[in-house]
Amino acid sequence: MYKVGLTGGIGSGKSKVADMLAAWGAAVVDTDVIAHDLTAPGGAAIEPIRQAFGPDVIAANGALDRAVMRELAFQSPEVRRRLEAILHPMIRGETRARANVAQGSYVVFVVPLLVESGSWHTQLDRICVVDCDPETQIARVQARSGLTREAIERIMSAQASREERIAAAHDVVLNDGKTSLQELELSVRALHEYWCMQALL
C-alpha cells in the first residue's frame, strides 16, 4: 500500500486531519493510540514498566500514570531512554501488525515524533506535516488537558522545531489559529485526492 506519514507538534491537529482522511477511505494507524492501548489497564507494557520503575508509576486503575511518568522522564533523560526501550519495540510491532491488515485506498501512519525518530523516512512514500504556530499549540493543549504552560513548553522543547518538521515534509497542512474548519477540510481533501492518485500508479 502507498504509505503516508502524518506528523506535527503537540496540539497541531494531527488527529483531526487523520479523522478526515479515515472518513474519506484511508486506513489510519495511529502510534499514539497504540501507545495508549499498551499502557491502558491490562496493556502489554504495564508489567514491564512496573518492573522497571516500580508501582508508583501505575495508577489505581492499573493504567500507566502518565503525569507521574512524564515528570520522571523530564527530570531524567535516562528514565526516558529506559521507558522508550520498553515502549518503542512494542509500538513498532503493533504498528506493523495493524498496517498488515489495513484496508483502505492508502495507509496513513500518525507518528508524533516522526521527524525526531530518524527511522521512519525510508519506510514512507510521503511525509505530511500539520503545521501550527506555537501559541495556538499551547492554547489547544491547555484547553483539552489542563497542563500548565510550562509543562506544554517542556513537551514542545523535546520535539523537533517547526522549521525542522517543515524541512522534512513533502506536504504541509496549515492548521493555525486563523485556519477555519472549512479551509482545513479543503486543503486536506486536495492532498487526499493526490495521494489516492499516487497510490494507483
| pLDDT confidence of residue 126 | 97
Q: Say how far apart CA 137 and CA 152 lie, in whole Å.
A: 9
Helices 134-145 & 149-157 angle (0-180, nearest 10): 120
| pLDDT confidence of residue 196 | 97
Q: Are 123 and 107 in contact (CB under 8 A)?
A: no
- Could you tell me how far CA 106 lies from the centroid of its own chain? 18
- Global pTM? 0.90
What stretch of H or E contains 93? helix 77-100
Q: Say how far apart CA 156 and CA 9 lie, in whole Å.
A: 7
| pLDDT confidence of residue 95 | 95
Nearest to 134 by CA among 118, 156, 102, 166: 156
Q: Are 102 and 25 in contact (CB under 8 A)?
A: no
Q: Using alpha carbons, list the distances in angstroms from residue 159 to 53, 71, 88.
A: 24, 16, 16
Question: Distance from first CA to last CA of the chain, Å, rounded?
Answer: 11
The correct CATH number of 1-26+104-201 out of 3.40.50.300, 3.40.50.2300, 3.40.1640.10, 2.40.50.140 is 3.40.50.300
| pLDDT confidence of residue 174 | 96
| pLDDT confidence of residue 177 | 84
Placement of cell 492518485 in the chain = 197
pLDDT less than 70: residues of the chain: none
Q: Say how far apart CA 80 and CA 93 lie, in whole Å.
A: 20
Domain ranges of the chain: 1-26+104-201, 35-103
Q: Say how far apart CA 85 and CA 49 lie, in whole Å.
A: 10
